């Protein structure tokens, strides 16, 4: 167990040190700030501070046309923008009762899973740096991610903020060599995931550093409202793709990666398995996706208006459940938009996970939650 | 004693010593530049990058560009920092490293002074630089710096013991602390053959002494963001860097001389000065390459694992090695005994490494936080 004052007992009084980590610390993944109360090297309390990246994206969306809001959704979750867009356009489609053509749905699925891969690569790289390997995993991850982003650029014309999903379908059709390109990317991705297995998973020091660290139990995880790989690592096989299938996930054969240990290593290996599952999903999608077909409904109105109503749509983003709650009072803009961010809920469990661990553990616990600050703060 | 370098020794020994020290300083600067360039290039190749290429041919002048940039930077000092400790810290780190150069045998007849107790001097003086780290960590008035300095002290104390005991074991085997004489005994077989475990443990402890990965926790970027030199900038920061690489340089020369046969093995001492220098350089670079290789491949240890590894694994094994060396010395057994014992020791070390490092048990997660009851639950 962790050695501390309580374990051995001392006669003299000591004072805990407040250590401010962030918002400009190299391992806070953006502008997250936490104040660690440390007794020597042992973390006694964690006080998180969020809001440095708050831009009011939800409120801004209420002043805009449904289609203009897509760009803001990209920016809430910039590492997996397709997944964020998907929730938003699905919410609009549910409100306006729009039927999406089959081909467009398959393309959406492929792009979302590719985006999950690229996001998990980003996690692997950043986590490798958190654990202390000098740059190597980061560059390896970057190389694989680059391939996927190149593909996204060919499809959507942008590498991060795509605005490619539109209510009703897609902005334009994919390039004619789309399937071949995806297969090409998957080939390099497989090699990349294998490389990571060798570089991190099989590393002895990596395992001693991560195993048994930052444990959170299933009950606590549920109480905090965690989702995604973070809760699946604690033994709750919760996956929106399986539980409430959207798009065509019900026609696809895939497993939900889950672990029972609930530690940092479990969260890491959950993501690792998810990447293999994503590759499988994309392969099946490529088989089933029709080569030709419409990508937008025949009659899309020039000005998109929805009847009054409210809807909550949730999808499985790389970090967990990305939900959109949208209220419309009629008209061409949402009356109220709320983003249910997985990162925010996951981040709340940070204190439970990192108290009574070492400072170095707190850093990798934060890394293992895989936060995107712009999604936390919106 | 070194040979008469320019004929000054008879005229004025002080002048002779002064010239030798000047040469050493020039050598350090040049070699450190080369090492930083090499490290960048090697790391880049491991990372599937190219590394520096724009500054001069093959990016060779990158170190010069870095130095110019660092000198041009403002020498900042935090308002709340302790002026004397803060500003003197880098010198206290750098000077001991510089002083260790005295014993490094580059060639048969070229060194500053081959002291009789050279290795003891080396270990003692290089341990002094920890004072500079403490000064930097305390004087900066920064909590990361303080944390880094404390980690550095703990680590230094723990790893100096195995290091010293390795030196003792080797000196027992060689019969001398004089690095020059140690090198000259290796004209047939390098000592790493007879003392494999000593070499391995010395290498591990040297990594920790140099604050290199996986023992770079005092400066761990993702945790304490640079540790003791977080508040330094410009020329003072570059002094830390210079000291770090100079220490690696000395350590690589010492390791090459202690275990790899320095300038002698495998060609004997009758080869020319040029080849001797090449031999020393090649062995030192081999050491350096392995250090960089480890840096790009493995994660950082945690502080408790680091300490436990030294006290539970390295220290007992080095003590055993000293005992075995003593037995061989007293009973006059053949050296092969040492080889066998060393190889067994290496096997024990490797198995113990994965077992003894502090590892938390992995069980299905159970609740750690108290269940909320009463008022709190309703809120």
pLDDT class of B7 with cuts at 50, 70, 90: low
B104 versus B123: the higher-pLDDT residue is B123
For residue B379, what pLDDT is reported?
45
Q: Over the stretch B159-169, which tens digit does the pLDDT of each residue have?
A: 889 999 999 99
Digit-coded pLDDT (tens) for A58-111: 888 888 888 888 888 888 888 888 998 899 999 999 988 888 898 899 999 999
Closest residue in B to A215 (Cα–Cα):
B365
Residue B1 has pLDDT above 50, yes or no: no
**Amino acid A8: pLDDT:** 55
Average pLDDT of the segment spanning B6-11: 64
Q: How far apart are CA A175 and CA B8, in angstroms?
A: 79
Query: What pLDDT shows up at residue B2?
Result: 47
- The average pLDDT across B45-58 equals 87
Instruction: Tell if the CB–CB gap between B362 and A360 is shorter than 8 Å.
Output: no
Q: Is the pLDDT of residue B79 over 80?
A: yes
pTM: 0.87
At the top level of CATH, the class of A54-377 is: mainly alpha
- With beta carbons less than 8 A apart as the criterion, state whether B368 and A352 touch: yes
Q: What is the pLDDT of residues B220-276, one digit of tens each?
A: 777 777 788 888 888 888 888 888 888 999 899 899 988 888 888 787 777 777 788
> Shortest CA distance to B301 belongs to which of B210, B208, B202?
B208
Q: What is the pLDDT of residue A106?
A: 92
- B106-159 per-position pLDDT tens digit: 777 667 777 888 889 998 888 888 888 899 888 888 888 888 888 888 888 888
Q: In chain A, what residues touch B216 (CB-CB under 8 Å)?
A: 132
At B289 the pLDDT is 92
* Residue ranges per structural domain of chain B: 8-357
Return contacts of B319-324, CB within 8 angstroms, 24+ apart: B319/B165, B320/B345, B321/B165, B321/B166, B321/B169, B321/B195, B321/B197, B321/B198, B321/B201, B321/B345, B322/B165, B322/B168, B322/B169, B322/B172
Backbone angles phi, psi at B232, to 5 degrees: -85, 155
- Chain A hits for B144, CB-CB cut-off 8 Å, are 19
CB contact under 8 A, B363 and A205: no
Q: Where are the domains of chain A?
A: 54-377
Contact A27, A129 (CB under 8 A): yes
Residues of chain A falling short of pLDDT 70: 1-12
Q: Report whether pLDDT(B290) > 90.
A: yes
Rounded mean pLDDT, B75-98: 87
Residue that has been written with the tokens 């010492």 in this structure: B254
Partner-chain residue, chosen from B49, B222, B360, that has the shortest CB–CB distance to A129: B222
How many other C-beta atoms are found inside a 10 Å radius of the C-beta of residue A94? Answer: 18
Question: To probe the interface with A, which of B43, B147, B222 has the most A CB atoms within 10 Å?
Answer: B222
pLDDT at position A120 is 92
A262 Ramachandran zone, left/alpha/beta (phi>0; psi -120 to 50): left
Give me the DSSP letters along B85-120. Answer: HHHHHHHHHHHHHHHHGGG---BTTB-S---TTHHH
Contact B299 A2 (CB under 8 A): no
**Token couple for B25:** 């300083």
């Amino acid at each position: 167990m962790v050695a501390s004052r309580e374990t051995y007992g001392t006669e003299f009084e000591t004072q805990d040190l407040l250590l401010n980590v962030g918002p400009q610390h190299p391992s806070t993944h953006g502008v997250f700030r936490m104040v660690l109360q440390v007794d020597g090297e042992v973390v006694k309390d964690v006080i998180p501070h969020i809001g440095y990246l708050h831009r009011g994206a939800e409120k801004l969306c209420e002043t805009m046309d449904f289609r203009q809001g897509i760009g803001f959704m990209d920016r809430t979750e910039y590492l997996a923008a397709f997944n964020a867009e998907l929730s938003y356009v699905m919410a609009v489609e549910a409100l306006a009762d729009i039927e999406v053509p089959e081909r467009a749905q398959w393309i959406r699925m492929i792009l979302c899973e590719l985006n999950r891969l690229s996001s998990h690569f980003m996690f692997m790289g950043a986590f490798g740096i958190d654990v202390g390997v000098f740059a190597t995993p980061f560059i390896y991850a970057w190389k694989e991610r680059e391939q996927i982003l190149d593909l996204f650029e060919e499809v959507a014309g942008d590498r991060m903020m795509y605005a490619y999903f539109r209510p009703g379908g897609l902005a334009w059709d994919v390039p004619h060599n789309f399937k071949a390109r995806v297969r090409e990317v998957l080939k390099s991705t497989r090699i990349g995931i294998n490389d990571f297995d060798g570089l991190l998973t099989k590393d002895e020091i990596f395992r001693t550093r991560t195993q048994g660290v930052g444990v959170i139990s299933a009950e606590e995880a549920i109480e905090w409202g965690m989702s995604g790989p973070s809760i699946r690592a604690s033994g709750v096989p919760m996956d929106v793709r399986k539980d409430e299938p959207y798009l065509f996930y019900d026609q696809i054969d895939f497993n939900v990666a889950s672990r029972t240990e609930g530690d940092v290593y479990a969260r890491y290996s959950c993501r690792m398995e998810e990447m293999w599952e994503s590759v499988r999903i994309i392969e099946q999608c490529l088989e089933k996706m029709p080569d030709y077909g419409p990508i937008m409904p025949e009659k899309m109105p020039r000005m998109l208006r929805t009847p009054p109503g409210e809807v909550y749509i949730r999808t499985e983003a790389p970090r967990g459940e990305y939900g959109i709650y949208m209220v419309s009072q009629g008209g061409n803009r949402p009356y109220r938009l709320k983003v249910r961010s997985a990162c925010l809920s996951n981040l709340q469990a940070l204190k439970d996970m990192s108290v009574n661990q070492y400072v170095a553990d707190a850093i990798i616990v934060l890394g293992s939650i895989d936060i995107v600050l712009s999604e936390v703060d919106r | 004693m070194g040979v008469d370098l320019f004929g000054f020794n008879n005229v004025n020994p002080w002048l002779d010593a002064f010239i030798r020290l000047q040469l050493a300083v020039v050598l350090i600067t040049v070699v450190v530049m080369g090492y930083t360039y090499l490290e960048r290039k090697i790391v880049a190749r491991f990372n599937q990058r190219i590394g520096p290429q724009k500054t001069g041919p093959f990016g060779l002048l990158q170190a010069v560009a870095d130095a110019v940039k660092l000198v041009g930077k403002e020498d900042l000092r935090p308002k709340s920092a302790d002026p004397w400790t803060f500003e003197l810290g880098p010198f206290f780190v750098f000077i001991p490293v510089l002083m260790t150069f005295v014993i490094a045998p580059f060639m048969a007849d070229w060194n500053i002074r081959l002291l009789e107790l050279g290795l003891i001097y080396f270990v003692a003086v290089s341990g002094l630089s920890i004072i500079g780290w403490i000064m930097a960590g305390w004087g900066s008035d920064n909590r990361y710096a303080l944390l880094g300095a404390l980690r550095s002290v703990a680590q230094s104390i723990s790893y100096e013991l195995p290091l010293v005991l390795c030196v003792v074991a080797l000196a027992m085997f060689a019969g001398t602390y004089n690095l020059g004489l140690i090198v000259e005994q290796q004209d047939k077989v390098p000592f790493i053959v007879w003392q494999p475990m000593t070499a391995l443990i010395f290498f591990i402890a040297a990594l920790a002494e140099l604050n290199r990965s996986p023992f770079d926790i005092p400066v761990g970027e993702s945790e304490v963001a640079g540790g003791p030199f977080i508040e330094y900038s410009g020329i003072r920061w570059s002094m830390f860097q210079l000291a770090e690489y100079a220490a690696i340089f000395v350590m690589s020369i010492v390791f090459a001389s202690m275990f790899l046969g320095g300038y002698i093995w495998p060609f004997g001492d009758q080869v020319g000065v040029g080849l001797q220098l090449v031999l020393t350089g090649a062995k030192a670079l081999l050491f350096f390459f392995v250090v960089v290789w480890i840096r790009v491949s493995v994660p950082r240890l945690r502080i408790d694992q680091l300490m436990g590894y030294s006290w539970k694994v390295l220290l007992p094994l080095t003590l055993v090695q000293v005992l075995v060396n003593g037995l061989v010395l007293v009973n006059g057994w053949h050296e092969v005994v040492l080889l066998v014992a060393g190889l067994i020791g290496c096997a024990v070390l490797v198995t113990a490494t994965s077992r003894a490092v502090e590892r938390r048990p992995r069980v299905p997660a159970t609740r750690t936080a108290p269940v909320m009851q009463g008022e709190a639950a309703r809120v």
